[in-house]
Amino acid sequence: MRVVLAERRSPGERSSLEELAALARTLNHEVVGVLEQVRKPDPAYLIGKGKAQELADLTRSKGANRVVFNNQLTPSQAYKLSRLVGVEVIDRFQLILEIFAMRAGSPEAKLQVEYARLSYEMPRIREQVRALMSVEQPGLMGGGEYEVDVRYDMVKRKLVNLRRKLKSIASVREQRRKRRHSRGFKLVALAGYTNAGKSTLLNALTAAKAEVDDMLFTTLMPRTRAMRASRMILLTDTVGFIDGLPPWLVEAFKATLEEIYLADLVVLVFDVAEPLPEILRKFRASREVLAEYPVKVVAALNKADLIPREELERKLKTLNDVTMFAIPISALKHTNLSSLIEIIRTNVSGSREPA
């Protein structure tokens, strides 16, 4: 599919179109055009009216089938933009949901991704109903209005049914937690921003042969393997986090991160070779997702072999001020992994909290 990417930024705000392009490529979309604007949000189109027309012209000239905004769109904005541009207009959160829907494997993950998708769709269906009612003759029921109204009722019923099923999953998680503790196993979850090197670290610490590439969200199905250094410690590679998630989309992450509920320790993996502001942004995004999980957290600063020692020490000092504990490693080169293993052992034994 050929797509045009669009982004509205406030003055001084950094662009994250590169990350949006990576998300689009994950769905095998071909990025054929980019449009940016720095201004306050426009209530009608998010971007200015003139810029919206420019977007329509760009979409037609490039033969694009879809426009993807890096910003979250209101139902009204998405509807008006689609009518003006002439193709489907979605935002980055809907794009992420499509990736989750494509890769979710477990029944629980599929249920929660579907719940998040329908939660996202509900206000948009309401907008369609409102728009159709505004153009229909009073007292007459147009075919389009009837069809959308039926869809709205169907989605409401489906959400009620999904909530009922998801509630039962919570009790299953609790039973799993009790079984694991009764058998003496400890679970360590490898978490962190997408593409930080979690799967490479899993391969280095266990006998796993997890797929490793530069695509975002390569891991959606949690993979659990016994740690070579201690067979009673199980390492789980989980889905990568991403910035700026609205509450309804966090629900989708909960499904693919269900092992977090069971973890005795979370190793939060970061790419320390990235610029410090980028590392701090991803740290904040990761902690937002983990905030409700009552687990110990340590930070593994991966890819430490890619930067000079002075730069590493400077970043380590800054990160130690904002994290519970941070240790530099290289999962690819197996650098400092013995220290990480010792930290894992110490923390899952419950002998002390992270420093």
Residue 94 has pLDDT above 60, yes or no: yes
Q: Which residue has the tokens 């430490």?
A: 304
200 and 126 together in one domain:
no
Judge whether 272 lies within some domain.
yes
- What would the two tokens of residue 25 be? 């490529």
Total number of domains in the chain: 3
pLDDT in tens, 231-265: 889 888 877 777 767 666 666 566 556 677 678 89
74 and 119 together in one domain:
no
Distance, in Å, from the CA atom of 24 to the CA atom of 21, rounded to the nearest integer, reads: 5
Amino acid at the residue 255 = A
Distance, in Å, from the CA atom of 73 to the CA atom of 318, rounded to the nearest integer, reads: 35
At 67 the three-state DSSP class reads: strand
Judge whether 230 lies within some domain.
yes
Of the pLDDT bands very low, low, confident and very high (cuts 50, 70, 90), residue 321 is confident
How many C-beta neighbours within 10 Å does residue 25 have? Answer: 15
Q: Of 68, 99, 130, at which residue does a domain stop?
A: 99
279 and 201 together in one domain:
yes
Judge whether 178 lies within some domain.
no
115 and 240 together in one domain:
no
Question: The CATH number of the domain where 200 resides is what?
Answer: 3.40.50.300
117 and 84 together in one domain:
no
283 and 335 together in one domain:
yes
Q: Taking all residues of the chain, what is their mean pLDDT, rounded to a whole number? A: 83
**What average pLDDT score do residues 186-207 get?**
87
Distance, in Å, from the CA atom of 54 to the CA atom of 48, rounded to the nearest integer, reads: 10
Rg over alpha carbons for the chain, rounded to the nearest Å, is 23
Measure Cα distances from 128 to 45, 144, 150 in Å.
16, 9, 12
Of the candidate ranges 164-168, 203-207, 217-221, 343-347, the one whose mean pLDDT is the lowest: 217-221
pLDDT top residue among 124 and 179: 179
Output the pTM of the full model.
Answer: 0.74
Q: Of 53, 71, 99, at which residue does a domain stop?
A: 99
| All residues at 6 or more sequence positions from 205 whose CB lies less than 8 Å from its CB, including other chains | 227, 228, 229, 235, 337, 340, 341
At 241 the three-state DSSP class reads: strand
Judge whether 354 lies within some domain.
no
Residue 270 has pLDDT above 60, yes or no: yes
12 and 48 together in one domain:
yes
Residue 140 has a pLDDT of 45
159 and 189 together in one domain:
no
94 and 112 together in one domain:
no
Of the pLDDT bands very low, low, confident and very high (cuts 50, 70, 90), residue 172 is confident
Among 15-19, 68-72, 149-153, 208-212, the range with the most confident prediction by mean pLDDT is: 68-72
**What average pLDDT score do residues 295-321 get?**
91
pLDDT in tens, 117-148: 888 888 777 776 666 666 554 444 445 556 77
Angle at 137 between CA 135 and CA 142, to 5 degrees: 80
Judge whether 177 lies within some domain.
no
195 and 335 together in one domain:
yes
Residue 296 has a pLDDT of 86
| Domain extent at residue 272 | 184-348
Judge whether 243 lies within some domain.
yes
121 and 63 together in one domain:
no
198 and 343 together in one domain:
yes
